[in-house]
Amino acid sequence: MLFIETDSPPPFYQAKLTPAKRKQLDQWFIGHRTQSYYLKRFEQFDKQGYLSPKWHWAAFFITLPWLLYRKRYMDALVYSVAGWSFIQLNIAIALVTFEFVAMSYIPEAYQMAIRIGIAAVIWLFWAAMVARWTDAYYYRMARREIADALDDYPQDAASQEAHLRREGGVSLFGLGLGFGFFIFALMVINVQFLPIVAKQRESEILFDAYYATKTAQDHVDEVYQQTGQCPVSLPLVSGTQQVRLRIETQMEGIPSNDCAVIGTMQNIKFPTRYLNDHTFVFYHNLDSNDWECISSLNKKQAPAYCTTD
């Protein structure tokens, strides 16, 4: 689609056709859906005598469903295999290059957003390139099919019409197939790939939350050993906005305790926002005169030394 001849006259142009006959052939190929739009575009290309970029919103947002909707099945296959592979290769090259050259200078909080931004810019660039040349591509397809119909059935208008309606027009089945593919791809991402990203991010967040709470507990313990009392008014700073720290004199449901440091996870974004409001709790056990840890996380998420068991 991006490598279309721009020579004059346009490819497969039938100069001997009358304007009325050419319009009739175009109508048979285009079908009833958005016929006026494409007739206007085809007339522009015919008058100017060469192909040029125009803008096509459907191709920008949903290129594959549009190709299937317009019965360009083989081109849709080539686009989905070769086109997407080329885009993904460019994204991979850009991400790897940026990772080695500049990522170390970017604060960790912005690194994921920058990765997503790089991929989005490359994808949008190619989507825009496709959208600019879609009308020229469809015009070329129409002129090729019309040339084939005239060559195969030079004196048979009914056969010409049948050929063009078969090769052109629209397919609601193709449109549904295109959107079905996108839904399937989103399901695969959600089920297979998103958990991998979330698991890595989850481990980082849990480590930071545990470390911040443990550090605060060490500080509280120093004061506790000096005063023999739980320093509930002691200011605590977690060093991260994702952990809120507080001190309680007793924790409900935990026997024989007189001081506890609670770290509550907060402000956590997708895809690990399910960690919000979960806690790490270090409490002073009066029976053993030691600090112990529990967590509201389940057994798989919480560290082995910080569970409710």
Q: pLDDT digits over 18-30, tens only?
A: 999 999 999 999 9
Q: pLDDT digits over 132-155, tens only?
A: 999 999 999 999 999 999 999 999
Whether residue 287 contacts residue 270, with contact meaning beta carbons closer than 8 Å, is answered with no
Asked if the bond preceding 9 is cis, omega within 30° of 0, the reply is yes
Q: Cα 278 to chain center, whole Å? A: 28
Q: How far apart are CA 160 and CA 150, in angstroms?
A: 7
Q: How far apart are CA 274 and CA 301, in angstroms?
A: 12
Residue position matching structure tokens 């931004």: 117
Please give the pLDDT value at position 3: 47
Query: Taking Cα atoms as reference points, which of 176, 172, 170 lies closest to residue 30?
Result: 170
- The answer for residues whose C-beta is within 8 angstroms of residue 73's C-beta and 6 or more apart is 67, 174
Please give the pLDDT value at position 229: 92
Q: Is 262 helix (H, G, I), strand (E, B) or coil?
A: strand
Full DSSP string of 93-115: HHHHHHHHHTGGGS-HHHHHHHH
Would you give per-residue pLDDT tens digits along the chain (309 residues)?
Answer: 544 566 556 778 888 999 999 999 999 999 999 999 999 999 999 998 888 999 999 999 999 999 999 999 999 999 988 888 889 899 999 989 988 888 888 887 788 889 889 999 999 999 999 999 999 999 999 999 999 999 999 999 999 999 999 999 999 999 999 999 889 888 887 777 777 778 888 888 999 999 999 999 999 999 999 999 999 999 998 888 899 999 999 788 788 888 999 999 999 988 888 999 999 999 999 988 899 999 999 888 887 778 655
φ/ψ (deg, to 5) at 291: -95, 135
Whether residue 26 contacts residue 38, with contact meaning beta carbons closer than 8 Å, is answered with yes
Q: pLDDT digits over 229-249, tens only?
A: 999 999 998 888 899 999 999
